[in-house]
């Protein structure tokens, strides 16, 4: 399954980490574009003036590009012009069309109401819906992803169950993360 990650799901660091970890574990393939990554950077830096822009570009976006070189999708202007969703998000929908994506992951589902996307078979998914699909198809991958996060998030140390609880604060993520918690041992330190 190929999914486009909208800037709004790449903005929060913990949600971004979960989605990228799932992608690294082959739960799905991801796509994005330079404009999507530019939007992430612009919003993160505007909301966090203490972050060094060069470090964010090098460290966060650079690591994303290096880990997922196949994710970058160039879009032709004609594709954007032929879309019928919200004009400010046509560039994101164009990535889905160009990449022959099965889904587009966003919190702004209203902005992607589109006959063109429906005709192309692009499902508009929230991060919660995407995680529900992973739990349906490969629950062991979802468990492994949260265990990986627990092994990396060491300040403060947290168990996979604590990570699942922490991630549940993101919109649409509560129900699938409650479900995921039931698959995790209560005392699993992930180390």
Fold held by 2-125 = Rossmann fold (3.40.50)
Residue 189's pLDDT is 53
Residue 191's pLDDT is 45
Query: So where are the chain's domains?
Result: 2-125, 130-181
Q: Which residues pair with 122 in a beta bridge?
A: none
Confidence of residue 27 (pLDDT cuts 50, 70, 90): very high
| Of 73-77, 105-109, 177-181, 182-186, the least confident | 182-186
Determine the Cα–Cα distance for residues 125 and 137; give it in Å rounded to an integer. 16
Q: Mean pLDDT in the chain? A: 95
pTM of the model: 0.94
Above pLDDT 70, what percent of the chain?
Answer: 97
Above pLDDT 90, what percent of the chain?
Answer: 96
Determine the Cα–Cα distance for residues 87 and 7; give it in Å rounded to an integer. 15
Determine the Cα–Cα distance for residues 143 and 14; give it in Å rounded to an integer. 16
Residue 166's pLDDT is 94
Q: Is the pLDDT assigned to residue 151 strictly greater than 80?
A: yes
């Amino acid at each position: 399954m190929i999914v486009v990650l909208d800037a709004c799901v790449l903005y929060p660091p913990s949600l971004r980490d979960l989605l990228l970890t799932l992608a690294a574990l082959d739960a799905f393939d991801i796509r994005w574009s330079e404009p999507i990554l530019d939007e992430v950077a612009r919003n993160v830096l505007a909301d966090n003036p203490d972050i060094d822009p060069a470090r964010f570009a090098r460290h966060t976006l650079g690591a994303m590009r290096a880990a997922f070189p196949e994710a970058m999708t160039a879009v032709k202007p004609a594709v954007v012009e032929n879309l019928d969703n919200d004009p400010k998000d046509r560039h994101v929908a164009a990535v889905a069309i160009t990449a022959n994506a099965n889904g587009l992951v966003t919190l702004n589902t209203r902005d992607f109401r589109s006959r063109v996307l429906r005709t192309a078979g692009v499902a508009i998914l929230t991060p919660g819906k995407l995680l529900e699909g992973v739990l349906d198809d490969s629950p062991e991958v979802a468990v492994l992803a949260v265990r990986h996060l627990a092994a990396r998030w060491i300040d403060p140390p947290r168990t996979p169950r604590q990570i699942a609880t922490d991630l549940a604060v993101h919109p649409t993520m509560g129900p699938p993360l409650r479900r995921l918690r039931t698959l995790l041992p209560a005392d699993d330190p992930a180390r």
